[in-house]
Amino acid sequence: MPDHTVDSCAPHADRVEESHAEIRAAFGAFAGKWKLEILWLLSQRMHRFNELKRAIPGVTQHMLTQQLRELESDGMVRRTVYPEIPPRVEYEITDDTLRLRPVFEAIFVWSRQRQAARAGNDADDAAA
Amino acid sequence: MPDHTVDSCAPHADRVEESHAEIRAAFGAFAGKWKLEILWLLSQRMHRFNELKRAIPGVTQHMLTQQLRELESDGMVRRTVYPEIPPRVEYEITDDTLRLRPVFEAIFVWSRQRQAARAGNDADDAAA
DNA sequence: CTGTATCCGTTTAGATACTG
DNA sequence: CAGTATCTAAACGGATACAG
């Protein structure tokens, strides 16, 4: 999708500065040690609280609750409480975070290219 | 590049677990408050130390040095020292980080969709 | 210019106990 | 099950001063 809000003849420096502000804002939305991992898990499917806790080795209840609350107030995650015994709380992504899937896919591609490049370098080293 | 190490008829859960390990590793590579922003700036062009410092409002010399050293030892950034007076140090991306550009572009797309969705919701709210 | 060293406050993290 | 509350320790981050 081309950007028709900006004159495409504008000097490159303007676009870079605008991009810088944008990317800072975007990065801020998922800054936090566990947020990307939480969002990635939720982009696969809905999770209950303890499901997330088990799925993320190393996270504590304390931090998981905190990060989930921040994601919720940023509109990145929807929290649904079922008033049952025992209690059930489900976490889902919102439309905003569903659109993060291409980002995760791009990260996958990068990660695999990086591993392949390293394997290639290792092979070169071994051959040399 | 398809994954031929795994039977493509394998249950979905296997792929998800494999993906989880991959994405954790990938996230770890640019975990750190300033790393994504540094990598994004360097993906545009080479920067000198103080250029980066000026370009990243809020970063301190301390943290910038630390994060650059970590990125360097992870092979994400190349550091070149010119033994001149005054000293000159240049930071460039490596091939590994050049391939992060699609990730940044995906983040841009997401960021703009998010803003557009919010503007749309605001318009809906106003119209209702 | 490009750092390093130090001090200090904030954030993160882990452990434990307790609640609806 | 899904949290909250509290305490403590460690890691992170920022300000300042100093150095090659």
**What does the pLDDT look like over A42-86, one tens digit per residue?**
999 999 999 999 999 999 999 999 999 999 999 999 999 999 989
- Assess B24–A contact: CB distance below 8 Å, yes or no: yes
Contact B111 A36 (CB under 8 A): no
Residues 6+ apart with CB under 8 A from A15: A6
Contact B100 A113 (CB under 8 A): no
Distance of A111 CA from D1 C1′ (whole Å): 36
Q: Say how many CB pairs under 8 Å bridge A and B.
A: 90
Q: Which residue lies nearest C15, CA-to-C1' measured? A: A60
CATH number of A32-94: 1.10.10.10
Q: Is the Cβ atom of B50 within 7 Å of strand C at any atom?
A: yes
Angle at B43 between CA B116 and CA A43, to 5 degrees: 45
Distance of A31 CA from D16 C1′ (whole Å): 28
Question: What is the per-residue pLDDT for A9?
Answer: 53
Closest CA to B50 of B68, B36, B33: B68
Mean pLDDT lowest among A103-112, B78-87, B112-121: B112-121
Label residue A4 by pLDDT band (50, 70, 90).
very low
Q: Is the Cβ atom of A28 within 7 Å of strand C at any atom?
A: no
Label residue B50 by pLDDT band (50, 70, 90).
very high
Distance of B66 CA from C5 C1′ (whole Å): 14
Work out the average pLDDT over A124-128.
60
Mutation to test the B interface, candidates A41, A95, A110, A113, most B Cβ within 10 Å: A110
Q: Give me the residues paired with residue B78 across strands.
A: B92
Closest CA to B26 of B124, B117, B100, B89: B100
Note the pTM of the prediction, 2 decimals.
0.86
* Residue A69 Cα distances to A32, A41, A45, angstroms: 12, 16, 18
Mean pLDDT lowest among A10-14, A20-24, A107-111, B61-65: A10-14
Average pLDDT, chain B: 86
Domain range list for chain A: 32-94
Q: Is the Cβ atom of A99 within 7 Å of strand C at any atom?
A: no
Work out the average pLDDT over B59-87.
94
Q: Is the Cβ atom of B48 within 7 Å of strand C at any atom?
A: yes
